[in-house]
Amino acid sequence: MRRWLRERAIVVLVLLLVALVGGIAAVRPGTVTADWIANTLLFAAPLGLMAGGETLLLLTGGIDLSVASIATGAAYLLAANAAHGEMAALALGLGLGLLVGLLNGIGVAVFQVQPLVMTLGTGLMTEGVLVVYSQKIIANQPHVPQFVVALGSGRVFGVVPIDLFLWLPVAALLMLGLSRSGFGRLLYAVGDNPLACRMAGVRVWRVLVGAYAGCGLLAAVAGIVLVGTTNAADLSLANVYLLPAIAAAIIGGTSIFGGRGGYAGTIVGALILTVLDSLLTLLDAPEPVKQILYGAIILLLAAAYTRLTD
């Protein structure tokens, strides 16, 4: 039984997700509708995208604490420059993600800075630069382009969230890339034993720079989807997403020590966290109590999962 579960840990996660949804249906009958499911998916998409980048890095044994700052920054740059051309503004936002990601990668891989320290530093720098930037361009009122609003909050046929049409292909690409591409293989390999990779002729730094750049880019994409949902670019847009993005990957079974995990689990992890959030909202508990519950449940899940898979 245990063995069966270990090999299909994702089944347990999905069951848990179903149980949580069932819990909501029990607490507030009539809540779980097609509309509610669509909303949940809509809100889970930015988290899932950001957690995707985080998954890549956890696989290499690294981590990125700058994803929330990148997401906020990308969204803000996009909104602040939309007036000069929406496509250029989009490129600017994505470019920021790529740039900070590359910086992270070079710091970690070439200068051997601890990933925690490096990404904490670049995250703080990004936030600081953003504050200065927002004060400089105060004249130019940020506005979120229409297509981004559609992406972040629109529905097809009134049900299917448009951001799924971005998230699903990205998810497929990530899952396929991790299992069926040379780069994906190397993410696991570098996380498992970098010395072995070097001895096998792999230039480890290239893999790491690629992974951090990819994570930065995904964080920027997540920020842009998020700003489409909120339709307001402020400087604390994605702050609350940092820890859930990491937690989604860990709950999904990706080891923080590297070498083990995958994106399928992360997706379910992101959905569980989103459903959990709406369950706690429904319970009408005071904010501190919600936070305590949220934290405790994440801890329980991570502990249970580790016992199951190890």
Partner 1 sequence: MTGAVLLRAENIARRFGSVVALRSADLEVRAGEVHALMGANGAGKSTLVKMLTGVLRPDAGRIVIRGTAHVFRSPAAARRAGLVSVYQDPALVPDLTVGDNMRLAGVAAAEVRRWMEQFGLGFVAPGAVVRELPLPLLRLIDLARALAAEPDILLLDEITAALPADLAAHVFAVARQWRARGRAVIFISHRLAEIAAICDRATVLRDGVSVGVVDPATGGEERIVSLMLGTSPQAAEARRPDHRAAGRPALEVKHLRAGELLRNVSFSLHPGEVLGVAALEGQGQAELFDCIAGLRRPDGGVILADGQEVRFRHPADAIGAGIVLVPADRVQALLPQRSVRENIALPLVRRLRDWGALPMRAEGARVAAAVRRLDIDTRAAAEVRRLSGGNQQKVVIARWLAHGFRTLLCFDPTRGIDIGTKRQIYALLRELAASGAAVLLFTSELPEIALACDRVVVLFGGRVVGEMPAAAADEPTLLRSAHGLTAAA
Residue number with CB closer to partner 1 (186 or 276): 186
Q: What is the β-pairing status of strands 155-156 and 160-161?
A: antiparallel
Residue number with CB closer to partner 1 (260 or 290): 260
Nearest approach, Cβ of residue 10 and partner 1 (Å) = 16
Residue number with CB closer to partner 1 (36 or 183): 183
Does residue 199 touch partner 1 according to CB under 8 A? yes
SS3 call for 66? coil
> What is the residue type of 29?
P
Furthest C-alpha separation in the chain: 64
Does residue 200 touch partner 1 according to CB under 8 A? yes
The pair of three-digit structure tokens given for residue 188, joined into one six-digit string? 């696991």
- Burial group, residue 135, by CB count within 10 angstroms (0-12, 13-18, 19+): exposed
Which H/E stretch holds residue 42?
helix 34-59
Nearest approach, Cβ of residue 212 and partner 1 (Å) = 15
Does residue 84 touch partner 1 according to CB under 8 A? no
Answer whether 209's CB lies under 8 Å from 102's CB: yes
Nearest approach, Cβ of residue 204 and partner 1 (Å) = 10
Nearest approach, Cβ of residue 187 and partner 1 (Å) = 10
DSSP designation for 188: H
Residues 167-196, one symbol each (x = binds partner 1 by CB under 8 A, - = not), give -------------xxxx-xx-xx--xx-xx
Does residue 102 touch partner 1 according to CB under 8 A? no
- Burial group, residue 49, by CB count within 10 angstroms (0-12, 13-18, 19+): buried
Partnered with residue 160 across adjacent β-strands are 156
Does residue 259 touch partner 1 according to CB under 8 A? yes
Find the binder of partner 1 among 10, 164, 202, 293 (CB under 8 A).
202
Contacting residues toward partner 1, per CB under 8 A: 3, 180-183, 185-186, 188-189, 192-193, 195-203, 206, 259-260
